[in-house]
Homo-oligomer: A and B are copies of this chain.
């Protein structure tokens, strides 16, 4: 009954197999190998266009490096107040951008709004010397509240951003889950909707440690390899990073895994919402369920072996009762059923 995080799951066997397949003989280092080439081609394919892709091992690295390509040190990035770049990377974007400022905004369900963007730009948008200069908007798909933007929502935000002279970055740590939920093409919610750079995460969806920085506007990738290198994020045995992507993307494994994870969250939410002492607080679009739950029930569940985190976000609407439950491709029906059963007994 572990619902702590999707990063508690292991590596999917198919991905492991792909890594083993790459372990053949001597091969060129730093990406000059066949597996890296193959992974690159798979990205072109699933995004229906030529893209420029760089592989790293953490979502933080992907986000920070991507943003460093978009904003100068005296620049700023608009983001949601609960976004990972703002809350969960211990200042990583600031390190990699050389000190750019994040300008957080509120928004229901973890989603940014055009109105909030306009308000930040009203305050910071003039090119006066005293202000940091906003140059990018970073949106998270799926969001940190487990909701997914529709393609139209992203298009509207990107259009607003562009109207203010901002480039658009998407933090896609759970991009797979969003695509699975929306049933769309990856292109529909990225470059076709106005996204310039995507941090595409595989780690939370079955890989070992595999994140990709995907540039749709290749001019932004200028000299990016030095940014990657000087951050210590260029692997010598790069084939093993690329191999994870091969295993992940081939035969739509990534979508299968995301659908499984999403489906288990749906089941979990359906079971929980029937309980009088639990309320589902956000749309369950992906593999996360945000609920309000009393301490008594939380304690009861934990005593029975349930594991999940109390969740803390700005705006204490829930008076300490917010809990996050995350499923993964490895979550079994039994775990969910047992959890609901235990909860029902209180």
Measured CB to CB, the residues of A under 8 A from B are 2, 4-5, 7-11, 16, 20, 22-30, 56-58, 60-62, 64-65, 72-76, 87-92, 94-96, 98-102, 119, 122-124, 126, 129-133, 203-204, 208-209, 223, 225-237, 240-241, 312-314, 316, 328, 330
Contacting pair A232 B73 (CB below 8 A): no
- Tell me the bound Cα distance from A237 to B205 in angstroms: 12
Contacting pair A90 B74 (CB below 8 A): yes
Q: How many copies does the complex hold?
A: 4
By CB atoms of chain B within 10 A, which of A29, A65, A73 has the most? Answer: A73
Find chain B residues with CB under 8 A from A58 CB.
232-236
Contact check: which of B8, B26, B119 meets A10 at CB < 8 Å? B26
Contacting pair B91 A74 (CB below 8 A): yes
Contacting pair A316 B119 (CB below 8 A): yes
- Tell me the bound Cα distance from A100 to B94 in angstroms: 7
Contacting pair B92 A122 (CB below 8 A): no
Contacting pair B209 A235 (CB below 8 A): yes
CB-defined A-B contacts under 8 Å, sample of 21: A8-B27, A10-B22, A11-B240, A16-B23, A26-B330, A57-B209, A58-B234, A64-B232, A73-B94, A73-B95, A74-B227, A94-B99, A94-B101, A95-B231, A96-B232, A98-B98, A123-B313, A129-B228, A203-B236, A208-B240, A231-B232
With contacts A4-B29, A74-B227 known, what are 17 further pairs, Cβ within 8 A? A5-B29, A8-B26, A8-B27, A25-B330, A57-B232, A58-B233, A58-B236, A74-B223, A90-B132, A90-B229, A91-B101, A92-B232, A94-B100, A95-B231, A99-B230, A203-B236, A203-B237
Contact check: which of B10, B130, B314 meets A89 at CB < 8 Å? B130
Q: Which residue of B lies closest to A60 (CB)?
A: B232
Contact check: which of B89, B98, B203, B209 meets A229 at CB < 8 Å? B89
Q: Which residue of B lies closest to A8 (CB)?
A: B26
- Tell me the bound Cα distance from A203 to B236 in angstroms: 8
Find chain B residues with CB under 8 A from A133 CB.
90, 223, 226
A25-B7 contact given A72-B223, A100-B94, CB 8 Å threshold: no
- Tell me the bound Cα distance from A165 to B233 in angstroms: 27
Contacting pair B130 A88 (CB below 8 A): yes
- Tell me the bound Cα distance from A222 to B203 in angstroms: 28
Contacting pair B30 A9 (CB below 8 A): no
Contacting pair B131 A72 (CB below 8 A): no
Contacting pair B2 A230 (CB below 8 A): no
Contacting pair B29 A7 (CB below 8 A): yes
By CB atoms of chain B within 10 A, which of A76, A123, A208, A313 has the most? Answer: A208
Find chain B residues with CB under 8 A from A22 CB.
10
